[in-house]
Homo-oligomer: A and B are copies of this chain.
Amino acid sequence: MTQHTQPSAKALVPFVSVDNMMRLIHHVGLEQMLRDLAGYVEDDFKRWELFDKTPRVASHSDVGVIELMPTSDGESYGFKYVNGHPKNTSEGLQTVTAFGLLADVYTGYPVLLTEMTILTALRTAATSAMVAKYLAPKGATTMAMIGNGAQSEFQSLAMKAICGITSVRLYDKDPAATAKCAANLAGTGLNVVICTSPEQAIEGAQILTTCTADKQSATILSDNMVGAGVHINAIGGDCPGKTELAAGILSRSDVFVEFPPQTRVEGEIQQMPEDFPVTELWQVITGAKTGRSSAEQITLFDSVGFAIEDFSALRYVRDHIKGSDFFFELDMLADPDDPRDLFGMVQRAAR
């Protein structure tokens, strides 16, 4: 090993590993962190108009997709790398892995690199619960959780922490997934009911969360299953060709979305005509539009995940690792003493 040159502070980018992300979560407390993240997401939805918004940049293959999700508020720039490979699970790999970066718009220099597989799970659940706070019927106590994969426990705890849900009714076509979810939720204070059909799961539930991962058009909820007055939190329909709900449900619901140009391609509403009416969530959160207007109304959050939610999560991590040991610094940026003398820096490293 040659002698290492010492980079200056400008060349170092704070990095949060998977291990350190888990330490941060346990330091803050999972439910508290879900509440905090929901607050950061809510704040950014309130200033939605000032963000640079663009549909994600996707590279599709036969077996999955790799996406970049950039956005900027004019002061900070963030992006997430995320893949979606439903077949991975059968090979012992994650369907979704992710990492993200935050940079300073004024200099273009990165200021944070972090794992985002776990952080995405948290921000997705926090966003769902923040939205349900606006749309679910008042006094909701029970959620049906259909699809008991990697997102299910986070959804359940976020709805508990942020909306006051006390009971979850679990269903998955694979009973082993339900058993795993139920075991993980034991001791969290949630009343957990294991169900053997979607019909059983939605009995008495005011919030119906669907989160299944097949890359295909499926019907987890059929039209006749959904009665008046519920809030549907549809997580799993999030790329072209992948839906979970019968079109008839969409027709009877008021549909709320993050960013219409993306949701019309990726969400449940890809099944509907291009001019199918939707409400942008940020307008509900600022008060410009009405959320739930009656007890009988079916509200539907057609969640696909948007770059601004990742940006909020990146901001949260940047703010909360300051002065902590939940990160270490990566020598990722070349920083010559004379900015025009990159070559000289490389040459001097030979010594």
Chain A positions within 8 Å of B, measured between CB atoms, are 1-2, 4-5, 7, 10-11, 15, 17-19, 21-23, 25-26, 30, 52, 54, 57, 59, 61, 63-66, 68, 70, 72, 74, 77, 79, 81, 83-85, 88-89, 91-95, 97, 99, 101, 103, 105-110, 115, 117-118, 121, 148-150, 152-154, 177, 180, 184, 325, 330-336, 338-347, 349-350
Which 4 pairs between the two chains have the least Cβ-Cβ distance? A83-B108, A117-B334, A153-B343, A22-B349
Whether B95 pairs with A83 at a CB distance below 8 angstroms is no
Instruction: List chain B residues, Cβ under 8 A from A339.
Output: 88-89, 92-95, 150
Q: Which of B7, B22, B84, B153 is within 8 Å of A19, CB to CB?
A: B7
* A93 CB → nearest B CB, Å: 6
Task: Give the distance in Å from the alpha carbon of A79 to the alpha carbon of B105 in the complex.
Answer: 19
Instruction: List chain B residues, Cβ under 8 A from A72.
Output: 59, 61, 66
State whether A342 and B94 are in contact (beta carbons under 8 Å apart), knowing that A18-B333, A64-B108, A330-B15 are contacts in the complex: yes
Instruction: List chain B residues, Cβ under 8 A from A110.
Output: 81, 97, 99
Whether B23 pairs with A349 at a CB distance below 8 angstroms is yes
State whether A19 and B1 are in contact (beta carbons under 8 Å apart), knowing that A57-B57, A342-B117, A347-B184 are contacts in the complex: no
Task: Give the distance in Å from the alpha carbon of A317 to the alpha carbon of B111 in the complex.
Answer: 24
Whether A331 pairs with B18 at a CB distance below 8 angstroms is yes
Task: Give the distance in Å from the alpha carbon of A117 to the alpha carbon of B89 in the complex.
Answer: 36
State whether A346 and B180 are in contact (beta carbons under 8 Å apart), knowing that A63-B106, A339-B89 are contacts in the complex: no
Question: What is the copy number of this chain in the assembly?
Answer: 2
Q: In terms of DSSP, what is the predominant structure of the interface of chain A?
A: mixed
* A20 CB → nearest B CB, Å: 8
Instruction: List chain B residues, Cβ under 8 A from A148.
Output: 340
Task: Give the distance in Å from the alpha carbon of A47 to the alpha carbon of B19 in the complex.
Answer: 40
> Which partner residue on chain B sits nearest A338 by CB separation?
B180
Task: Give the distance in Å from the alpha carbon of A343 to the alpha carbon of B22 in the complex.
Answer: 10
> Which partner residue on chain B sits nearest A30 by CB separation?
B346
Instruction: List chain B residues, Cβ under 8 A from A105.
Output: 59, 61, 63-64, 66
Task: Give the distance in Å from the alpha carbon of A63 to the alpha carbon of B104 in the complex.
Answer: 11
Task: Give the distance in Å from the alpha carbon of A117 to the alpha carbon of B108 in the complex.
Answer: 12
Whether A17 pairs with B342 at a CB distance below 8 angstroms is no
Instruction: List chain B residues, Cβ under 8 A from A5.
Output: 19, 22
* A190 CB → nearest B CB, Å: 13
Task: Give the distance in Å from the alpha carbon of A64 to the alpha carbon of B103 in the complex.
Answer: 13
Whether B89 pairs with A340 at a CB distance below 8 angstroms is yes
Q: Could you list some 16 contacts between A and B, CB below 8 A? A: A10-B93, A21-B334, A52-B59, A66-B77, A66-B103, A81-B101, A84-B108, A85-B106, A85-B107, A97-B108, A97-B109, A97-B110, A99-B333, A180-B344, A184-B344, A330-B330
